Amino acid sequence: MSAPAPYDARLTRLRDAMAAAGADVYICDHAEMMVWLTGYTVSETFYRAAIVPAEGDPVIVLRRIDEVPCRAATWVPNVVAYADHEDAHARVAAEIRRFAPGTVGADYTSFGFTAHTRDRLAELLPGTTFVDIPQSSGHLRAVKDAAEVATIEAAGRIGSGAMAAIARALKPGMRPRDASAIAAFHYLTEGADDYWVGPISISRRAEADGHGMGFLHATLHDDALSEGDILHVELVPRVSYYSCRFMRSIKLGEPTAGERTVMDRLVALQDEQFAAMRPGAKAADVDAIMRRGLIAAGLRDDYPNITGYQVGLYAKTPRSSDTSLSLHPGADWPFEAGQTFHVYATAQGLALSETVVVEDGGARLLTHTPRRILVAGESV
């Protein structure tokens, strides 16, 4: 059968990459690539994969317990299911063998394509050559279609509502855990996929280190907030697996003049980045705007982290962020229209980030919360 839109264009994109690599068959075993290509994904409790030939229909091989939801979600007509006691790699190899490939392509950075999987499939398919199609699970998905962008923006609207709910309810004595519970309730009642909120922690002003990044990935804890504290909130709601994420700093009490000055600088530099994120612009040049700007302003001593990364599909993989395309000094790739990124900045214990889509006139925000320090108890 012919793949329906939008999967037909995605299949063509993959097959072009396969042809360039000389692959007769492609093993799609990365969770996010699977849903992008087939409409269905599942965790790798047991090995599972979609097998894509250069011509003809793909085949999905997975556990029998997952067969019914898979058939309900996918356009792929051929779904092969195995019992849990069977050899999953052997079932995948048997389906690959039906296409009699000389060369099998895979993404060697896929979390599913482990050294064990590669060696086991090579053992089961003697005489077959395996070839890496580098970063295909991430790079082929980089340019989003209009429906994907709309879904990301829908997730952003849920995130904006959750941020407003936290800011409105926040007061001394509450814990980061309480703020997370507010966001989780909002996510689930407003249509998000699940209750994975994102990192929320107390961010006290950085001291001698000059940037105070540690709060970004701090573990959720039970410390009570006090007047003058700043709560760091990063929200990562998903809709149909597509995530829109952004960060804000919420102050218990009025921000100081110094804090406002730091945040104003983050906003100004980020706006400059967004204006520069046009098709053809070099990622390293956009990264340098924030990186050099904050160091030159004396707001950071150094900048070891990236300033943005690809955002979109998030399925059941070990990572929480997709850095297959990210903004750093060595990023020599150009932006393309339709790419979406989470762009973020931190300085002096404050944080600001947005999800954006690259368009001809620069990056357009898909998040819609005021770009300033929020104040506990206010309506935003």
Over residues 137-194, the pLDDT tens digits come to 999 999 999 999 999 999 999 999 999 999 999 999 999 999 999 999 999 999 999 9
Please report, rounded to a whole number, the percentage of residues in the chain having pLDDT higher than 70: 96
**Alpha-carbon gap, residue 150 to 143, rounded angstroms:** 13
297-353 pLDDT, tens digit per residue, is 999 988 999 999 999 999 988 888 988 999 999 999 999 999 999 999 999 999 999
**Alpha-carbon gap, residue 166 to 175, rounded angstroms:** 11
Please report, rounded to a whole number, the percentage of residues in the chain having pLDDT higher than 90: 90
At 213, the pLDDT band (50, 70, 90 cuts) reads low
pLDDT at 367: 96
Which domains occur in the chain, in start order?
7-139 (3.40.350.10), 146-375 (3.90.230.10)
233, 380 contact by CB (below 8 A): no
- What pTM does this model have? 0.94
pLDDT at 131: 98
102-152 pLDDT, tens digit per residue, is 999 999 999 999 999 999 999 999 999 999 999 999 999 999 999 999 999
**Alpha-carbon gap, residue 322 to 308, rounded angstroms:** 10
Instruction: Give long-range contacts, CB 8 A cutoff, 24+ apart: 138-141.
Output: 138/32, 138/33, 138/109, 138/310, 138/322, 138/324, 138/325, 139/324, 139/325, 140/10, 140/13, 140/14, 140/17, 140/33, 141/32, 141/33, 141/36, 141/312, 141/313
**Alpha-carbon gap, residue 333 to 82, rounded angstroms:** 42
The mean of the pLDDT values for the chain is 95
Checking if the pLDDT of 207 tops 50, the result is no
pLDDT at 317: 84
